[in-house]
Amino acid sequence: MKTVKVYGPGCKRCDATEALVKQVASDLGITVEIEKVSDPKSMAMAGVMSTPAVSVDGKMVHAGGLPEAAHLKQWLSA
Amino acid sequence: MTTETHDPIHHHRAPDWLWYVGVPLVATLGWLIYGQLIPMSEWVTALFPVARDSHTGEAIAFFVYDVPKVLLLLTGIVFVTGVLRSWFSPEKTRAILAGKRQIWGYPLAALLGVLTPFCSCSSVPLFIGFVSAGIPLGVTFSFLIAGPMVGPVGLGLLYGLVGWQIATIYLVFGFSIATLSGFVMGRMGLERYLQDWVRDLNAGPTGDLPEARLTLVDRLKIGVEQVREIVGKVWIWVLIGIGIGAAIHGYVPEDMMLRIMGGEAWWSVPAAVTVGVPMYTNAAGVIPIVEALLGKGAALGTTLAFMMSVIALSLPEMIILKQVLTLRLIAIFIAVVAAGILATGYLFNFLL
């Protein structure tokens, strides 16, 4: 099972990103564990500067804005 | 072609040629409408059962002229800015600034503050990212001040509603305040007033994301996305701002305006800043008010001071920054920027 972290201070786009991850995962028929990270310290430690950012299994895949569903699909099925 | 037929999110994906035809077409249409705003607004105003030259008639005319004008301008500016900013990112900006230790860091940071896309909601991770990469605190402040202070929306609307002369003055002085405030704060050695955990932080390196290769259509899409997001968020502030502007334009007598916001009263500039800081709106909402104030004979310096303090010093942003800055540092930040704004206000009231 993949662990997906969504980094963001709780803005609208961060929620949209989380919803998109959920949807893409269910489209692919896989279960993912989604963790939302909104604490600035943890974000800084992960090297996130622009939000929302997404990591899959500890690897940063996206930063700054809503990711594209097609890309998310690739990251989740890789 | 890619196999994305089952993609529910992108069911409305348009072919590329549609973008190349559609964007110029919409731009031309907007431009044509923009040119017809005066007859259109006069026609709409005439529908109201009030005399055109009465107070109410003046206010209505101002409102129905300014609403489509500001919304058209706003849409155009946000789109163009969104496309241009797609070539920049906080990560790239950080890499550029981290290599600059000299005096040039300040104006460069101010310039990048205008060009780099970032929303105030991610100013905390951005701040930490900069400081932990060894970018001096003062340079980071120049970046953070310039972003809102000389944002394209404010400048573009000022240009469209008030004229290029005042837009240019605003650009030059806003940019100078951002650069100099950062410089002054850099000299003050304020690192000790960061929140403890920020000072002790050894942030991880930014995950080196493979840089996304964007096509022109991708960039146009980013522009449209920006329009949807920003115009969708600020339109209410625009209507409120134009409403206030219309009320000033229609009802406030000129001699009263001269007494309150004229250049004679020494206290008018600090009063404008005091009123401006707690006002929470954005550039798009405040410029119609500025337009009406100047139209009624308010002094330029006082009005500039008001506008700058509304746009550049906002309480919500301070509250966000409280996570990384101590209250003392926030107070210094406000004091330094406010001093620059006051100086600008007095200078123009004195000169004109």
How many structural domains compose chain A? 1
Instruction: State pLDDT tens for residues B294-333.
Output: 999 899 999 999 999 999 888 878 888 888 899 999 999 9
pLDDT digits (tens, 9 = 90+) for B176-220: 999 999 999 999 988 888 888 887 776 555 555 666 678 899 899
DSSP readout, B110-139? Answer: HHHHHHS---GGGHHHHHHHHHHTT--HHH
* Encoded tokens for B297: 């004979």
pLDDT bracket for residue B110 (50, 70, 90): very high
Interface test with B, best of A50, A51, A55 (most B CBs within 10 A): A50
B209 neighbourhood in chain A, CB within 8 Å:
60-63
Evaluate whether A32 touches A1 at the Cβ level (below 8 Å). yes
Chain A: nearest CA to B28, how far in angstroms?
A: 29
- pLDDT tens profile A58-72: 888 888 878 888 888
Cβ of B91 within 8 Å of Cβ of A20? The answer is: no
Residues of B in contact with A55 (CB under 8 A): 207
Using alpha carbons, select from B170, B165, B164, B125 the residue that is nearest to residue B148.
B170
Nearest CA in chain B to A58: B207
> Which chain B positions have a beta carbon within 8 Å of A40's beta carbon?
124-125, 128, 323-324
* Domain extent listing, chain B: 79-200+221-352
Examine the pLDDT at B4 and tell me if it is beyond 50: no
Instruction: Give the structural domain span for A20.
Output: 2-66
Whether A29 is in a domain gets the answer yes
In this prediction, residue B108 has a pLDDT band, given cuts at 50, 70 and 90, of very high
Q: What element of type H or E holds B64?
A: helix B55-85
Q: Could you give the residue numbers annotated as active site of A?
A: 11, 14
Q: Is residue A72 a part of any domain in this protein?
A: no
- Judged by CB atoms closer than 8 Å, whether chains meet at A41 and B197 is answered as yes
Integer Cα distance of B292 and B42 in angstroms = 18
Mean pLDDT, rounded, for A7-26:
87
- Whether B82 has its CB under 8 Å from any CB of chain A: the answer is no
CATH number of the domain enclosing A20: 3.40.30.10
- B120/A contact by beta carbon, under 8 A: no
Q: Is residue A41 part of a domain?
A: yes
With a cut of 90, say whether residue B293 has pLDDT above it: yes
Residue A76 resides in a domain:
no
Domain assignment present for A60: yes
Residue B278 near residue B315 (C-beta atoms within 8 A): yes
Task: Tell me whether A11 touches chain B (CB under 8 Å).
Answer: yes
Of B262, B264, B290, B74, the closest CA to residue B167 belongs to B290
Highest average pLDDT, of B5-14, B259-268, B303-312, comes from B303-312
Sheet of A32-37, strand order: A32-37, A2-7, A53-56, A59-62
Q: Which of A17-31, B30-44, B186-200 has the highest mean pLDDT?
A: B30-44
- With respect to residue A48, please indicate whether it lies within any of the assigned structural domains: yes
Residue B167 scores a pLDDT above 60: yes
Evaluate whether residue A39 is within a structural domain. Answer: yes
Interface residue A39 vs chain B (CB under 8 A): no
